[in-house]
Structure 1
Amino acid sequence: MKINLSSFNKVFGETIVRNIKTSDLENYQAKRKASGYSNSYIDQEIGAARSVVYKAFDDAMVSEDTVRAFKKVKKLLKSNANTRKKVLYIEEFKRLMEALPPHTRAVVAMGYYTGMRKGEIINLTWDKVDLKDRMIKLDAADTKDREAREVPICDALYNILKDIPKAIHDNHVFLFKGKPVNDFRTALRTACRAVGIPYGRGTKDGFVFHDTRHCFNTNMRKSGVPESVVMNITGHSTREMFLRYDTVDAKDIKKAVNQMEGFLESVDQTVDQVPIKAKKCP
């Protein structure tokens, strides 16, 4: 989400910013909240302004007191409170794929089977795709965290990619009417509604494209793939971020209870089979 600091600038001019207090920022948070803005958006506003202030401090334009005011102000949104948990089961994913138009179907499949970010997918070019070795090789400049990584291509995705015709005039993998695919929300929304899948961030259990990243992480974990391997594929630099994209659902919980029950039964049987030694008479 792009943050516009015009409202912040109207309240805090350059002169006032130099003398700003934490209480001033807290009052700003309260006013924005009363105006109907979400906690997440307000936090991002303060965060964007904080970055500007830190830069100004580096350039000796503001004092440590200004920086301290921004450090002390607390976020309105609790940690991980906005973490999304929507994951499509394979049956839902297959229904969705059938309802999507071809160009969007390939993009969604790429997200579901690789966990790649939207930007990494729509900007993907054929020179980064090795169908023979079944590997997508991203350079540092292609990724959000600016670290090169390799993403494996599974059979299902391979079958989709090999059927995509390569354009002479454009090297992008995903094209629509001769131009790189960019905004496909309308197609995704229409397909979701057609197959009965809630759509949108503001909808309960609503699905959005970024959730394909959750799907990939969760499916890999359920498949027994080690966390370190999944993190290497998806480009998660910390375990905390990895866990945000790994959703524990009702099936996981039931499986956990069944595993515990099986363990307890095995222990009970082992105990029953251990012979009890007779005590010697005194």
Structure 2
Amino acid sequence: MAILSECPTCKARQSLKNKRCKCGEDLDRAKRSGRVRYWITYRLPGGTQRKEMVGTSIEEARDADGKRRGQKREGRIFDMLPDSKITFSQLAEWYFELESVNALKSIDTIRVYVNKFLGVYGDMPVSDIRPADLENLQARRRREGLKEKTIDDELNYSKTMIIKAFDNGKVGGDPLRVFRRVKKLLKGHANARDRAISADEFSRLVGECPRHLKDILTIAYWTGMRKGEITALTWDKIDMKGRMIRLEAADTKEGKAKSVPMATIVYEVLKAIVRALHDSHVFMYYGKPITRNFSQGLKSACKKAGIEWGRDVKGGFIFHDLRHSFITDMRRAGVDRTVRMAITGHAIRDMDQRYDVVEDSDKLVAIRQLEVYRAGSADVAKVLPGAAV
């Protein structure tokens, strides 16, 4: 068991004996000005190590350290569970220091929503949260004009932080029960979209796009891949000989590897792209990978093509609708459901389908079926390689 001091500049926790932090901060001066926070560290029976923030007073830290030593000596395990003083802001500091959290593709989104929550309840001790507090937050966000899904996302991302804290012994079960008790505003699948872009719309849209965006839209329309899967695509995932795009588990939202067949137009698009010498990404713009949001470029192209844009507009188009269109057209083309789900990465719940092995050859046959179906439209024929224009 020990008492640690936290540097106010770099947040490093270190021995009380240190007079100066590695970052250069004068710790003695910071302690005198009350800018140093003190932590106590100890092990629970079983070996689990805990670090507990006490405050800015060394006397309080020594008292807390002595209290935990006494509890441990007397075997009072439950008295050593998470201290009720930790606030949501302090918990968020710990949460966003975790490498596993920072490695998430959605980390920027998580930060936005958790910080919104902290703006209301950041100073509240985690143990003080009650269902009424979260229901009041829902009502407040509604008055602010936010959509139900946005409100639900704020609570869901905050709940994920609480779950992680509970699993790591940072908080008890009461706060977690509170978050689980509050009902979502948006009922199941109430926000599901049914927009599918027509062949005519797609033809007009790609006709108004710059080359780099046109290629991305074409890949999405003919593979059903998600935007993040496409922009993160690297050449080692491209099997030109086998005409497959082979994604690993880490590349997909489902967390499962999948192989996506190439339509002829996808093959031609990829073959025409000049590979960068300094970067393995497939889609580049002015020498840099296209990782940022390109919604403004898509919005501009939609306006020129006479297509309504945006989730908030009735019948408005968004990028993800290309995936809807792919799945819809695959069904209309007569592609077997098991094969469709294997290509898109959707979970297969039926036992017979789960044990029905889908080979690459099955997927290539499926994409040929889609080509035949879409070739029936003169508008799609305009964007197929070798078609007469």
Q: Is TM more than 0.5 here?
A: yes
Structure 2 residue corresponding to 1:234, chosen from 321, 334, 344: 344
Identity within the alignment, %: 45
Moved more, 136-145 or 73-82: 136-145
Aligned counterparts of 2:156 and 2:227: Cα–Cα separation in 1: 23
Larger Rg: 2
Q: Which residue of structure 2 lines up, in the alignment, with residue 39 of structure 1?
A: 148
Aligned counterparts of 2:168 and 2:248: Cα–Cα separation in 1: 33
What pairs up with 1:254-269 in 2 under 5 angstroms? none
Q: Which residue of structure 2 lines up, in the alignment, with residue 193 of structure 1?
A: 303
Q: Residue 140 in 1 paired to residue 230 in 2?
A: no
Aligned counterparts of 2:274 and 2:237: Cα–Cα separation in 1: 16
Number of aligned residue pairs: 240
What pairs up with 1:1-282 in 2 under 5 angstroms? 2=109, 3-13=112-122, 16-182=125-291, 183-237=293-347
CA drift at 1:13: 4.5
Aligned counterparts of 1:229 and 1:37: Cα–Cα separation in 2: 39
Moved more, 86-95 or 182-191: 182-191
Aligned counterparts of 2:299 and 2:268: Cα–Cα separation in 1: 25
Aligned counterparts of 2:239 and 2:114: Cα–Cα separation in 1: 43
Question: CA separation of 1:54/1:96 partners in 2, compared to 1, >3 Å: closer, same or farther?
Answer: same
The residue identity in structure 1 corresponding to 2:145 is: G
- SS in structure 2 of the partner of residue 86 of structure 1: coil
Aligned counterparts of 2:267 and 2:227: Cα–Cα separation in 1: 19
The residue identity in structure 2 corresponding to 1:152 is: P
- SS in structure 1 of the partner of residue 194 of structure 2: coil
CA drift at 1:192: 1.1
Aligned counterparts of 2:261 and 2:250: Cα–Cα separation in 1: 19
CA drift at 1:93: 1.0
Residues 29-60 of structure 1: CA deviation (Å, up to 9, x unaligned) = 11121122221111011111111222222233
CA drift at 1:14: 6.2
Aligned counterparts of 1:234 and 1:217: Cα–Cα separation in 2: 8
Residues 77-132 of structure 1: CA deviation (Å, up to 9, x unaligned) = 11112112221111211121222111111000011100111111011112211122
Residues 228-277 of structure 1: CA deviation (Å, up to 9, x unaligned) = 2111111112569xxxxxxxxxxxxxxxxxxxxxxxxxxxxxxxxxxxxx
Q: Which residue of structure 1 lines up, in the alignment, with residue 365 of structure 2?
A: none
CA drift at 1:154: 0.7
Aligned counterparts of 1:13 and 1:92: Cα–Cα separation in 2: 47
Aligned counterparts of 2:311 and 2:221: Cα–Cα separation in 1: 18
- SS in structure 2 of the partner of residue 69 of structure 1: helix
Give the strand-richer structure, 1 or 2. 2
Question: CA separation of 1:20/1:138 partners in 2, compared to 1, >3 Å: closer, same or farther?
Answer: same
Q: Which residue of structure 2 lines up, in the alignment, with residue 267 of structure 1?
A: none
TM-score in terms of structure 1 length: 0.79
**Could you list the runs of 5+ residues in structure 1 that have no partner in the other structure?**
241-282
Question: CA separation of 1:34/1:219 partners in 2, compared to 1, >3 Å: closer, same or farther?
Answer: same
Aligned counterparts of 1:15 and 1:95: Cα–Cα separation in 2: 53
Give the helix-richer structure, 1 or 2. 1
Q: Does the CA-based 8 Å contact 2:302-2:309 persist in structure 1?
A: yes
CA drift at 1:134: 0.8
Q: Does the CA-based 8 Å contact 2:338-2:348 persist in structure 1?
A: no
Higher relative contact order at CA 8 Å, sep ≥6: structure 1 or structure 2?
A: 1
TM-score in terms of structure 2 length: 0.58
CA drift at 1:214: 0.8
Residues 193-233 of structure 1: CA deviation (Å, up to 9, x unaligned) = 11211111122211111111111111111111122211111
- SS in structure 2 of the partner of residue 150 of structure 1: strand
**Could you list the runs of 5+ residues in structure 2 that have no partner in the other structure?**
1-105, 351-389
